[in-house]
Amino acid sequence: MYNEKVIEYAKNPRNQGGMDNPDAVGEISNPDCGDATTIFLKVENNIIVDVKFDTFGCAAAVATSSKLTEMVKGKSIDDALEITDEMVADELGGLPLKKMHCSNIGIDALREAIKEYKENN
């Protein structure tokens, strides 16, 4: 069902875990499937200098959240907002159609974190 890259990111997630004193936190859960993701951001001069995530969910949800953190680290807040769930899935070599909703959870949590950051800064 999953390609090797998705399996690799699910088994060995990058940037997983919490963060001390984040500048922003975004939390999203999907009541339909039970997946939940929290994104933690550290931002300096509008650049995401560190990002961590915690995901409770399937392999696709973990893999896409992990890949997303790699994609946004070092980007400006505005550039990070341009990343779509399709872009994340493409970076992982694709997801099964019935698992594409899992790629939304990380993006949605990121957008919530950025919204919080913008409101507070």
Distance (Å, whole) CA 107 – CA 88: 9
Contact between residue 23 and residue 42 where contact means Cβ atoms under 8 Å apart: yes
- Catalytic residue selected from 25, 33, 36, 87: 33
- Catalytic residue selected from 68, 102, 105, 109: 102
Kindly state the tokens that stand for 49.
């200098």
Angle at 10 between CA 9 and CA 13, to 5 degrees: 60
Is 58 marked active-site? no
Positions marked catalytic: 33, 102
